[in-house]
Structure 1
Amino acid sequence: MLYHQLTGTLAPLTATPRQIILAFSGGLDSRVLLELLTQYRDQNPQHDYLVVHIHHGLHPDADKWAEQCQLWADSAGFRCCVERVSLDTSLSVEHAARQARYQAIAHLLEPNGLVLTAQHSDDQVETFFLALKRGSGMEGLAGMPAVRPLGQGYLVRPLLTQSRASLEVYAHQHQLDWVDDPSNQDTRFDRNFLRHQWLPQADARWPGFRKAVERTQRLCGEQAALLARLIEPMVTQAETDAGSLPITALPQDDAALTQAMLRHWLKRYDIILSQAQLHTLIDDVIDAQPDANPSLTVGTVSIRRFQQQLYIVKPYADLSQWQGTLTSESPLALPDGLGTLYLVPYSSTEKGLALGDLASRTLHVHFNPRGLSIHPAGRQGRRKLKKLYQEAGIPSWLRRRQPIICDGETVVAIADRYVSQTASGKHWRLVWQHES
């Protein structure tokens, strides 16, 4: 039955050869999944298989567990790698370890690859009560999906409808041994408290209790999916080509619909907000004073408002000290994924800024606008770069990502937007080719 569950889950995802990664802790659940995957691989050798063990370094026996997992994977004929991770100390140990695992595995994942994990129905019930404790909505109460996006591929939980008891029976029938992590008995952790204390008492008092929870999860999942289908076209229509969300697209007289649209938009960027964070976003960012520059930090990204648009802003490198040189013979690769600058002979059909015959064909490029000004071609007087950025509608967090091109000490151009009065002409084209 377990093997048929695996093949049935993978069938619609494996029409063509792809990478399949097993997240392998060495515990009972993943040990069973390794055995099942060995059988699957023997019948489906066209895929690229990899076993990954995450070394958290949280237990004195962690090195020994990693070695044992390597031996089991080798014995089954799988390539195996051990990924050592460090945990974010600002988070709970459970949350930090889970986050580190997914980040490490996502780094190894190829486009459309699959990551298999061994969660089962007992895990699903525990997840329901953890979500209930946090005050989650329908989507949280629906529990873990069998398949969800992860990085460039998908996270797949093929055993999610099977009980831990069925996995244990399989392990004994196939004479498997596994790693016993003593932290799984530590009831200071919420999931272990539910598993070892609260849920057994609930099962004893209310026969059929877990089935009722599973039914509730299915209903919540169906309703959450229906809501997502209704909200999706609204968000798609409102979102700009730049990925921002106009605040004017949010219904001012319907708080519930506004929150649903915000959650759906943020989920596109893998951002899940608590109810408190969502209220902070509305009160302190969306409804901030017009002249404010508000933002809400969530993990490594921030949600920012600029000119009545909401943006998801990822962390950028500090480019204030970076410098480069550009010549007609040598295009300049810009840092941090900003593309390439080219200086090419003038052509009326080419895109880019038209420049005259410069005093020097070696141009200096940097990103620090502090104290600089330029006399834009066709306009009266000089302007500080800060004013020009405001005028051009460049968000504040992108202003130090605009390449400033200088001929000696003189600013001759800014990105692909402005050329100075004295540098304007029809001798060269300055082309900024952005990375896609």
Structure 2
Amino acid sequence: MSLHAKLLKRLAPWRNANTWRIAFSGGLDSTVLLHLLAHLAKTESLPALSAIHVHHGLQAAADAWPEHCRSVCDALGVPLEVVRVQVQPGASLERAARDARYGAFIDATHANDVLLTAQHRDDQAETLLFRLLRGAGVRGLSGMPGERVLGQGHLLRPLLEVTRAELEAYAALHQLSWIEDPSNEDRQFSRNYLRHQVFPVLTERWPQAQATMARSAAHLREAQGLLDELAQIDRVEAGSRSDFDWLGLPSLDLAVLEKLSAARQRNVLSYWLKIRTRLPDSDHWSGWEDLRDATGDARPIWRLAEGELHRASGRIWWLSGPWLRTPPVAGRWADPTLPLALLDNGQLSMTGQVPDGPLHIRYREGGEIMSLPERGHRDLKRLLNERGVPLFARGRLPLLYCGEQLLAVAGLQGLNGSVRDGWNLHWQPPTEDQGLS
């Protein structure tokens, strides 16, 4: 089967997309992909083609690459967008450059768009070996997925079944020109070391090494799919409703998780958390064990890259964004007939007859007393204990005051208004959209 036919077959499910955008570095692989698609577009009804070139600014030679990419795209009649990014300094230049590059791809990928990248079978084998040497688990060893969500659209890797030799042969046949990145020869980068130092030795002894390693990655993707199916079953079981779903926070029933084996606990937590944060490696899961095994009066927290797991009210809760910041003092509510936006703490509104007097919003400091019909004066801490309010939420419950009198606690039925006077205080807690992306 020709490269054109392989590519068309691989992309068949995506022909209703708005745009096929090629990630075009100007190197051999992406040049072949661009050329293949541009020529297919002459005989096939395809989505609109465009290309995007990300300029990292990491080496002087790269300054000439956007112009080369533009000339190639102009010759093929494909629009090109050049995006300049700032690579953040860090321990791994490879990773920082990748993060910057994919950040640009995410920004460029809109609803029903497809971003096409040119990784091939040899890249897949390199990825498997690279991750194996880093001690990756099944998910990591399953290699690069052929497709995944990216931004509001999808990322596809349609050449994963094609070898580098096939791409080189195509480029030679069509007399294509491409950029040779000098950094690809630098052995200090792990992937370059594997490509130039390790794989030649492996393939000399085992000529089909790359093919068999790519096949192993496919087997591991299948195994990961089964693990994900099991995790989904466990997540549904542990995701039962709670009295505090109105907080809008992801949570799981701890008692359900504790019935699972340690391996199944890690599996379902990894599945649940992977869309929320970068996960620690297998040697750094002691934070989960400390959270799970803490005594009843403890307040354990497992801090992860993009948020925290808290244990409260028999559940574990994911907190991120504004939930990790202490809301500042709110102050006077000048017009309670209008909603009040609370900095880092959502929004308040009131229904019914507005109470008389100047109204203020405060947060707990300790020692608050509330007067309740038929119960007299009650300590707020005790009232919150009675309702089992999670500790992490108590300090951000908006309290409505008239002078020094505590009138209502937003969000808690029976404490959030006055049945006699016919008014209620409503709180919409903060969402992640208000904080970290």
Pairing of 1:222-301 with structure 2 (within 5 A): 222-241=222-241, 242-252=249-259, 254-269=261-276, 271-278=278-285, 280-301=286-307
After superposition, what is the alpha-carbon deviation per residue over 1:258-309, rounded to whole angstroms, capped at 9, x for unaligned?
Answer: 333333333354644411123x233322223333322333322223322342
Distance 2:416 2:392 in 1: 27
Aligned position for 2:425: 430
Task: Decide whether aligned partners of structure 1 residues 237 and 370 sit closer, same or farther in structure 2, where only a CA change above 3 A counts.
Answer: same
Code of the residue aligned with 1:202 in structure 2: it is L
The count of residues paired between Structure 1 and Structure 2 equals 419
Residue of structure 2 in register with 1:330 after alignment: 338
Given candidates 327, 343, 347, the residue that maps to 1:319 is 327
What is the DSSP-based 3-state SS (H/G/I as helix, E as strand, rest coil) of the residue aligned with 1:184? helix
The residue correspondences of 1:320-359 to structure 2 (distance < 5 A) are 320=328, 325=333, 327-336=335-344, 338=346, 340-344=347-351, 346=352, 357-359=355-357
Whole-angstrom CA distance in 2 between matches of 1:271 and 1:254? 23
Structure 2 residue 11 is matched with structure 1 residue 4: no
Q: List alignment gaps of at least 5 residues for structure 2.
A: 242-248, 432-437
Counterpart contact for 1:120–1:163, Cα < 8 Å = yes
Tell me the CA shift for residue 192 of structure 1: 0.8
Given that 2:112 and 2:152 are in contact with CA atoms closer than 8 Å, whether structure 1 keeps it comes out as yes
Whether the aligned pair in 1 keeps the contact of 2:313 and 2:389 (CA below 8 Å) is no
Instruction: Note the alpha carbon deviations across 1:75-119, whole angstroms, 9 max, x for none.
Output: 533251404133252x42222222332233223332343222111
Partner residue of 1:381 out of 355, 358, 377: 377
Q: Which amino acid aligns with 1:403?
A: P
> CA–CA distance in 2 between the matches of 1:65 and 1:400?
54
Q: Which residue of 2 aligns with 1:142?
A: 142
Specify the code of the residue in structure 2 equivalent to 1:4: A
Distance 1:151 1:324, change over 3 A: farther
| SS state at 1:125 partner | helix
> How do 1:18-417 and structure 2 match up within 5 A?
18-39=18-39, 47=47, 50-73=50-73, 76-87=77-88, 89=90, 91-241=91-241, 242-252=249-259, 254-269=261-276, 271-278=278-285, 280-316=286-322, 319-320=327-328, 325=333, 327-336=335-344, 338=346, 340-344=347-351, 346=352, 357-360=355-358, 363-365=359-361, 368-370=363-365, 373-378=368-373, 379-384=375-380, 392-407=387-402, 411-417=406-412
* One-letter amino acid of the structure 1 residue matched with residue 156 of structure 2: V
* Structure 1: segments with no counterpart, 5+ residues: 347-354
Shift of 1:38: 3.0
Change in CA separation of 1:249 and 1:181 when aligned onto 2, cut-off 3 Å = same
SS in 2 for 1:305: strand
Distance 2:5 2:252 in 1: 44
| Contact 1:373/1:383, CA 8 A, preserved across alignment | yes
Structure 2 CA distance for partners of 1:422 and 1:5, relative to 1, 3 Å:
closer
- Structure 1 residues 421 and 19: CA distance shift in structure 2, 3 A: closer
| TM-score, scaled to structure 1 | 0.82
Counterpart CA distance in 2 for 1:117 and 1:306 is 44
RMSD value, Cα: 3.4
Q: C-alpha displacement at 1:28, in angstroms?
A: 1.9
**3-state SS, counterpart of residue 54 of structure 1:** strand
Deviation at 1:193, TM superposition (A): 0.7
Rounded to whole Å, the distance in 1 between the matches of 2:213 and 2:197 is 17
Report the CA distance shift for 1:404/1:33 in structure 2 as closer, same or farther (over 3 A): farther
Identity of aligned residues (%): 35
Distance 2:71 2:423 in 1: 63
**Counterpart of 1:359 in structure 2: which amino acid?**
G
For the 8 Å contact 1:130–1:190, the answer to whether it is kept is yes
State how far apart, in whole Å, the 1-side matches of 2:151 and 2:367 are: 41
Question: Which letter maps to 2:421?
Answer: K
Report the Cα offset of residue 44 of structure 1.
6.9
**Residue 5 to residue 319, structure 1, CA distance change in 2 (3 Å):** farther
For residue 51 of structure 1, report the CA deviation from its aligned partner: 3.1
Name the counterpart of 2:244.
none
TM-score, length basis structure 2 = 0.82
